Amino acid sequence: MSVEIGKRLVGALTVGALTGTALGVVAPAAATSAALTYTCTSPGFTGPKQFTMVADTDAPGRIAFGETIAPTATGTVTVPEDVTAVFRDGLMAKRVDGRADVAATVDDVVRPWSLAIPQTNVPPNGTLTLEGTGSAGTFTGAKVGTVYDIAVGNFNATLNFYSANGSPSAPSTTVTCVLNPGQTAAVDTIRVVKDGTATSVKAPDINRGGLARAKVKVVSDHGKTPKGKVKAILLRSGNKLLSKKVGLRDGRVKVKLVRLGRAGDYTVKVKYLGHRNFKRSNAKDTFTVG
């Protein structure tokens, strides 16, 4: 899945949402969800059961303008003790694996994901913990200042059961889990920030009376072409002789400074003044008038 982050993300990035929505979805960066409670049903259950899930992603708290990320989603589900006992003693399962069918949402549009649950030993007593992981999609930062909230909702899990020798001990089953109401299911928050830049400048040596020039180039950290202006400052022995602002074109500009009749060494300092999508950066070069 490829999604341009120019919209608010509200969905399941774990053993996630198949249907339903969560309450307020604001989470600090690098957070996890609370231990969310779910009402789960399956043909093999004697009635509805209460599962819990802790959701997480490795999405960063910030993404730069033009940057693309492909975070991994994780959901850690705790199967209650009585259901675990059925798996162990009723289905004679020594190990369990499976898949979680996820319906993440972007602007309320469901975009299904699939998270793999590796083979996990069924404990001799107590609860069973299953962890599913998979792709949370591909995202590209499109607008600086936008905040994207990641949350979870309902999930379906298809589980397979194995005996000690690796053969199936029972038919596969599907568990359908609905997020209990009244919970805040926030997981992570991503903020789009300005991209970093690097400025370079080259000023060639000239003869006395020649026109001092400088070639300036500004590039961004993530491949987008910076826009805006640069300020070029001409100095001799630390004293400012000239200051000039010029606009970039395709991230470059040739700056014409001034004719110089005095021999010696000169410095050109260039400041990229930044843009709504790009951070500032500086560079300098020296040249000789002979």
CATH number of the domain where residue 219 is located: 2.60.40.1930
Residues 165 and 224 in one domain: no
Q: 216, 231 in Cβ contact below 8 A?
A: no
Report the pLDDT averaged over residues 69-94. 94
| pLDDT for the residue numbered 143 | 94
What CA–CA distance (Å, rounded) separates 123 from 84?
Answer: 8
Whether residue 94 is predicted with pLDDT greater than 90 in this model: the reply is yes
- Predicted local distance difference test score (pLDDT) of residue 105: 58
The DSSP line for 179-237 is: EPTT-B-EEEEEEEEPBPEEEEEE---B-TTEEEEEEEEEEETTSPPP-SEEEEEEEET
Q: What confidence category does residue 109 fall into, taking pLDDT thresholds of 50, 70 and 90?
A: low
Last residue of a domain, one of 158, 193, 228: 193
- pLDDT score recorded for residue 47: 95
Tokens of 210: 């020649």
Question: Per this entry, what is the length of the chain?
Answer: 290
Instruction: Verify that 177 and 228 share a domain, yes or no.
Output: no
pLDDT digits (tens, 9 = 90+) for 197-249: 999 999 999 999 999 999 999 999 999 999 999 999 999 999 999 999 999 99
Whether residue 65 is found in the same domain as residue 127:
yes
Same-domain pairing of 159 and 268: no
- What is the per-residue pLDDT for 44? 85
State the pairing for strand pair 95-106/72-79. Answer: unpaired
Q: Which domain holds residue 36?
A: 2-193
